[in-house]
Structure 1
Amino acid sequence: MESLQTSVAAIAAEHGFSGAVRVDQAGETVLAQPFGLAERGLGVPNTLDTQFAVASACKGTTALTVISLVDDGTLALGTTARSLLGADLPEIDDAVTVEHLLAHRSGIGDYVDEDDDGEITDYVLPVPVHRLTETEDYLAVLDGHRQKFAPGARFSYCNSGFVVLALLVERATGTAFRDVVTQRVCGPAGLRDTAYLRSDELPGRAARGYLDTEGLRTNVLHLPVRGSGDGGLYTTVGDVHALWRSVFAGQVVPRHWVDEMVRPRSDSPQVSKRYGLGFWLDPTTDAVLLEGYDAGVSFRSLHRPSTGLTWTVVANSSDGAWPVAKHLGAVLR
């Protein structure tokens, strides 16, 4: 794989990539390399043990958390959001179910609308970011968004839906969502470096998220100070690969549930993908994907069960991951 190492290094240099790349093939790691700086002001380099934010990629871990609760009977795919929300978020249709939310087919209004024009580095949150530290705090940004269409009618990617799922998890279990993720996903998968960190008190191995490939401006004023079901998880490339391995070995949820999660529910031709429950799906192969994109964060990871291929690209800048990810997608099949 010397040619892959050479080509990735060349693209990284050309585009000022800062982050980490890992490629596994049939259980063997053939490329694992960090690039750039985790803390530009102090010149601290990224390493393979650096914890990176992965934005919406955590929708996969949210879905796994929910499905583990479905498996043990705490929730059901048919559980309605209303049954646990009570009088909160009255704009959500009473017929919206856990399955609708997992599949992005709920039709609820989104507090961060992916279809809005604008730049990824815009300031989009309607409340100061420091107010968003617990999942219940998100009620302030989830409320007041009208239902867009009848539940189940069609696919529409929705960040709010996964925060609502986190709320349902908390209300069904009586436990903070981030702790349930640790218990239900991180523990069984052996993820030691994966957690919902506060952006205003990042530990020493966590990378700051930078708005551009150069400069010192970070994303600390752009995103919730601590994430929830739709984003905000920090992890390492090693933990990402451990997650794929453990999920498809049936160690997080039983394998029949994994098969159900990667069964296509919707086509999304505008991004040339399909969608299951919490996971993007390749339109023509069995490849399963997790993606994240936000101010100071870009991430893509692919796992193809039939060939044992897994690759991950994560960047601590807004668009940094895409050139390397595009290259890997083209040369690795």
Structure 2
Amino acid sequence: MLDDLEGFSGAVRVDRGGVTLFATARGLADRAAGVANTLGTRFGIASATKGFTALVVMSLVEDGTLSLDTSARKVLGDDLPLIGPDVTVEHLLAHRSGIGDYFDEDLDGDITDFVLTAPVHELGETEDYLKVLGGFPAKFAPGERFSYCNSGYVVLALIAERVAGVPFRDLVARRVTGPAGMTATGFPRSDELPAGAARGYLHGAGSDRTNVFHLPVRGSGDGGAYSTVADLSALWTALFAGRIVPTARVAEMIRPRSVATEGDRRYGLGFWLAGSGPAVSLEGYDAGVSFRSVHDPSAALTWTVVSNSSDGAWPVARRLAQRLAES
């Protein structure tokens, strides 16, 4: 299916109808130690974590702890005063809140140029992110338009944590990865990665510099989870079987709310949607991480490409999408 993976570091898996058609891992999880990537390697998935956050929030909506029209201000209290009283949970989920972003991906420059305004080792819990979320004025009125916003998903994690009284990563484990059977997925600290987890590298095979100084030491609602290609396949299966939230809630989440700036994709609540057709996807891009996972329920087709370098997944994902379209 893919005969040229020279220089690729990561893993690829393709499933159709519950059968794995193709799976491979290439490159090194730890370049200094010479540890190879395998199909069981846990990779950072960056913003794909937003799908987990959205599912946690929707599960809290389902059990009545939250509603889509809950005001963020109601839960935040005096924190983050630049977030207006008319910003709702639904606005945040749909990237239509208009709030200022601590990591604005519309800014020019390389992904590895971004530097957090607080030391990364201080960002280990969701409440710690208050140090970096404040001070960004609103960009537009809530609901006015789509604007991808990392801050919005950290705020959602904060809201979920406060109303449930449970740490965000435990909510993900109890409400998303546990029901989906995702046994290798979680939020390890980057300064104590467990065995079997890939370090993220800033550049291609010629560099051994990792992303440890570029990202929070532990992820939250907008990114930072680690997972495997098998677990991501399990996520799609469980999601569309209604094992995480009921299928009616899934339908609500994958109903298009916006057309993205590029015009060839749409967005629901926590999930990217194809410009036309039923395909749903999660995507992650960060210093040392590139990831795309796509599920087409009409074809019972799932494919995932993840790389432990900043741009490694994209050429492979493009070739794979083309091959699958031709098959």
**TM-score normalised by structure 1 residue count:** 0.96
Structure 1 contact 55–293 (Cα < 8 Å) conserved: yes
For 2:117, the equivalent position in structure 1 comes to 126
- What CA RMSD, in Å, does the superposition of the two structures yield over aligned residues? 0.8
For 2:267, the equivalent position in structure 1 comes to 275
Structure 1 unmatched ranges of 5 or more: none
TM-superposed CA distance for 1:271, in Å, is 5.8
For 1:291, the equivalent position in structure 2 comes to 283
Aligned length: 324
Distance 2:63 2:111 in 1: 38
Distance 2:229 2:275 in 1: 25
TM-superposed CA distance for 1:223, in Å, is 0.2
Q: State the Cα deviation string for residues 278-329 of structure 1 (Å, max 9, x = none).
A: 0000001100010000000000000000000100000000000001100111
Distance 1:233 1:100 in 2: 23
Letter of the 2:108 counterpart: D
Matches within 5 A, 1:259-274: 259-270=251-262, 272-274=264-266
Distance 2:263 2:126 in 1: 29
Letter of the 1:241 counterpart: S
Letter of the 1:107 counterpart: G
Q: Does 1:220 align with 2:212?
A: yes
Matches within 5 A, 1:1-333: 4=1, 8-10=2-4, 12-13=5-6, 16-214=7-205, 215-270=207-262, 272-333=264-325
Percent of residue pairs identical = 65
Query: Which SS does the other structure have where 1:133 is aligned?
Result: coil
Structure 1 contact 295–318 (Cα < 8 Å) conserved: yes
Distance 2:102 2:144 in 1: 20
Distance 1:171 1:191 in 2: 25
Letter of the 1:153 counterpart: E
Structure 2 unmatched ranges of 5 or more: none
Distance 1:156 1:199 in 2: 29
Distance 2:260 2:165 in 1: 35
Structure 1 contact 59–278 (Cα < 8 Å) conserved: yes
Distance 1:226 1:169 in 2: 17
Distance 1:287 1:331 in 2: 16
TM-superposed CA distance for 1:27, in Å, is 1.5
Structure 1 contact 112–124 (Cα < 8 Å) conserved: no
Query: Which SS does the other structure have where 1:56 is aligned?
Result: helix
TM-superposed CA distance for 1:150, in Å, is 0.6
Query: Which SS does the other structure have where 2:111 is aligned?
Result: coil
Distance 1:315 1:38 in 2: 10
Letter of the 2:166 counterpart: T
Structure 2 contact 289–308 (Cα < 8 Å) conserved: yes
Structure 2 contact 263–275 (Cα < 8 Å) conserved: no
**TM-score normalised by structure 2 residue count:** 0.98
